[in-house]
Chain A
Amino acid sequence: MTEPNKVLATFQVNGEPHEVAFVPHKTLLEVLREEMTLTGTKHGCELGECGTCTVQVDGTPVLSCLVLAVDAVGKNVQTVEGLACGSDLAPLQDCMADLGAAQCGYCTPGILMAADALLKDNVRPTRDEIKEALAGNLCRCTGYLKIFEAIELAAARMRGEDAEPSKESIYGS
């Protein structure tokens, strides 16, 4: 089959309009990275098995490698680039950095987007609820523990609590 003609559409990404021409069989991941140069969203397995390409579409975390870009037109797309406010990191990002929850960092954008969606729905998630929310995001470095602790710390700070990481989180037990 010959390459189909490009279509022109406007995406709402992180609250800003992006007018893009793309062929209709491109995934949202391809259009975000290659047409809008929003390369914060990573490509990993591209088969729905790793979660590193997680973005939010209308607030729901989905895998951008398996969403057609045309299906995201008219919806509110949130990527990792939209988390920070200028140079101020979001509490979730701060806590991930402070607790060493990102090592190689490749899974981090996907984990941030899945965790951000969880914290919007649930301000006081249990450890099991965090594990469940991240059950589609693989991390091969951290062993997940630091990630869970960072999300718990971020949740506490977002609730307005004056929370500090536990000594065990920083120095080990």
Chain B
Amino acid sequence: MLRLPPFTYHTPKNAVDAVRIAKEYGREAMYVAGGTDLYPNMKRRHQTPAQVISLRDVPELHSMEVLEDGRLQIGAMVTLTTLEFYPHLKAHYAGFAHAVREISTPLLRNMGTIGGNLLLDTRCSYYDQSHEWRESIDFCMKSKADAICWVAPGSPRCWAVQSSDSVPIICAMEAEIELAGVDGMRTIKGDDLYQDDGIQYLTKKPEELLTKITLPAPGNWKASYLKLRRRDTYDFPVLGVGACLWFAADGTIEKANVRLGGAGSYAMPATKTEELLVGKKLTDELIAEAGAAAMKPARTMDNTDLDVYWRKKVAPIYVARALKACR
């Protein structure tokens, strides 16, 4: 039986206490929300925190609220199932609601939270294996500092893949992330929470606690998410396209954000695609052209499910379909 390693379980009653405990124990401590990412990782000994800080009893993390200016603020502990069936989300954030529904399975969405999904560990076929499997290849650099990267053995960096379904679309939508730290709260753009490294994929300090995500007020924009995976359930994305387009009254695209998940260690912007879209109307021809421009940034490597070259080849098709869904 795969068992969790021993740890001390903390259940702070507010965010300040949670951060204080995390700061006190430093690298020994990790937060847990739904546990659907951390506990499997702990069972495989990817992470073995001696102090686990549960956020289950922090009331402010469980709330959901439409703010006066129309933005939607979601607490980090709101489960994915709650979000999926929240009428306001379906009505005003259909693309994001779809992305949430695409995550894993209904059972895991009953347990998993939006905060946990936003902070999902990066994944790799050489990393997401049992301890024994990884030991047999003397681990990889994500597990052991002096080991090599098995995907790109000459590489000085880790190429584990950004695998959360919610991240590409919240970055494209320019959602805001609220973090609680020892010096108080700060708010950053979704894009600024992530960086292009398979190990240090988050920019936040370890003790900083993701408390809330705020989605922009409904307006002259439309967002979409399209996911590529082998099965219609369970699987992590091997490509996840998040797109958000802002339209002028006459249908001209004023701003375009396109992010590619599952194609690198962070949700990468398809910059050329975005440039092609701005100032034009979303015609079939433009969609095809803008989709084709996404081939280059899709930096697929042979460390997820499905063939690496095929994944790169279908990126333009998926980007085009995501753009079409923004009509």
Q: Which residues of A contact B (CB under 8 A)?
A: 1-4, 23-27, 30, 43, 46-49, 51, 54, 60-63, 66-68, 70-71, 114, 132-133, 135-137
Contact = CB atoms under 8 A, between A and B. Distances in A.
Interface stretch (B13-21, B106-114, B212-220, B272-280): B106-114
Contacts of A30: 1, 3
B40 A61 contact: no
Contacts of B50: 1
Interface residues of B, number: 29
B6 to A, nearest CB: 5
B47 interface: no
9 contacts: A25-B4, A47-B2, A47-B40, A60-B81, A62-B107, A66-B111, A68-B54, A135-B105, A136-B233
A51 B105 CA distance: 10
> 3 tightest A-B contacts by CB?
A136-B105, A136-B107, A135-B233
Interface string B78-109: 00010000000000000000000000111110
B39 interface: yes
Contacts of A67: 35, 111
A60 B110 contact: yes
Nearest to A7: B9
Interface in B18-46: 35-36, 39-40, 43-44
Given A54-B107, A136-B234, A25 B1 contact: no
Interface string B174-205: 00000000000000000000000000000000
B5 interface: yes
Given A61-B107, A135-B234, 15 more contacts: A1-B7, A4-B7, A4-B8, A25-B6, A25-B7, A25-B9, A27-B4, A46-B1, A46-B43, A47-B2, A51-B105, A66-B111, A67-B35, A68-B35, A114-B106
A78 B7 CA distance: 27
